[in-house]
A and B are shown apart, each in its own frame.
Chain A
Amino acid sequence: MWKRFDPSRPLAVIVGAVVAGMLAGFVASVLLSFTAEPVIDQAIALEEARHAAEPHAPGAPEEPEVVARGDQKGVGRFAAYSFGGGAYGVLFGITFLALRRRDGKTSPADAFRRSLLAGAFMAGAFTVMPFLKYPPNPPAVGDPATISERQWKYLALIFLSVVVFALAARLSSHLRDRGWTGDERLIAVALAIAVPLGIVLAALPPYHDPIEAPANLVWRFRIASLGGNLLLWSVLTMTFGAVAVRRERELSGAVAGMPAGEAVLRPATTT
């Protein structure tokens, strides 16, 4: 399997990124078992207490439980994070491929740099930007009547962030072709990301739902969620990047016929 992973082949990149993403989702889910689940349980207890306090029609049937609570916090969340991580992996892999330099002037370390960039873009668009504008809420928060309105706002924010990152990458490659090097290009691209993202954050309308759950509970949930999602992106980026740069070194060494002295620096693969 190791031998078949070539960071310059699209199929290998996508498959590798899906594996890394599923692993990352699993790892993040393990963390969330400890950080988020106690908070979610509290929020659900609050929600149920609120329901119980409402006047019930006599003899009204209880809401049937479709999925047991234990499954939601166990296998359900692990499945959500593994599938979600795998899907994020596909998008990460496409970003990694799209960030290839057009001029072919590249070194093996470029594979790691592109992984970091792809991971940063993805985490920015899918986790950090939504967190800044529409932070995640625990159960017991949210009015079902406004759900579709909140969904389109949330999707619009992610979509606009992706567009900004894609245009910034375009701009970067364009400026490089025009001979901009080093700091100038970095500053121009950083501005081309930060300013439009700021405008997006300011321009999109906020959620209007009142939050009646205790602020402390809500924020503990939000921090736990942010930690889990950032861990997912870190693990995905680091495992994929580390493997990609190693394989890139091996393969470019094999292709270019590196001097033997160079090869000694890398331990031979044992597989």
Chain B
Amino acid sequence: MAGLELLSDEGYRVDGRRAGELRKVRARMGVFAQADGSAYIEQGNTKALAVVYGPHEMRGSRSKALHDRALVNCQYSMATFSTGERKRRPHGDRKSSEMTLHLKQTFEAAILTQLYPRSQIDIYVQILQADGGNYCACVNAATLATIDAGIPMRDYVCASSAGFIEDTPLADLNYVEEAAGGPQVALALLPKSDQIALLEMNSRLHEDHLEQVMEAASKACKDVYAVLDQVVRDHVHEVTTLLGE
């Protein structure tokens, strides 16, 4: 598919979006009853499921406990059926371990961990279908799950990717655009304070363009924020009416 035109002269991307448009986001909170918090999100064809346990006391080795804050434990995995060709190993490979670390960093920055010294918060995320922007979908799902679990956070963490193709910054890349191998930025943002929880970039991008790409990414994050906020409000509304009965 070397010849595929990622951005046409008319300004359409392969899937018919324009440069700054997000894929359709659908999300649900509280999908499982056993876990403390859970959420499911679809960003286009990328589907992710997040489950949160905690805060609870340390499991496993107690020596890992931190005396002044909670330990955030993350695990990222991809379902074997999530990609075009069946995956052998759902987690534990190099790529997943890296993603796990990134998630951990992101949520250590967002959760008010100092409220729960010597305890542990577990975040498990699984990609059910991968179509680009896996990290972003995971962060967004985990945010919703954390909120569902009632763990205090500084702000929502919203993540979105942005790429740079044909001298134009594109928001929220899908798999085809990612696979083209152009520069890609993944940004996790605390939208109210405009603070960056995590920023990652692949491939080479000229310094001059970085600002534009960052702008596109943070705009996309804020758009995601609007959607997530609505989902949370709807969920709360639903739960309260149920309780009220």
Do A and B actually bind? Answer: no
The interface of chain A, by Cβ under 8 A from chain B, is none
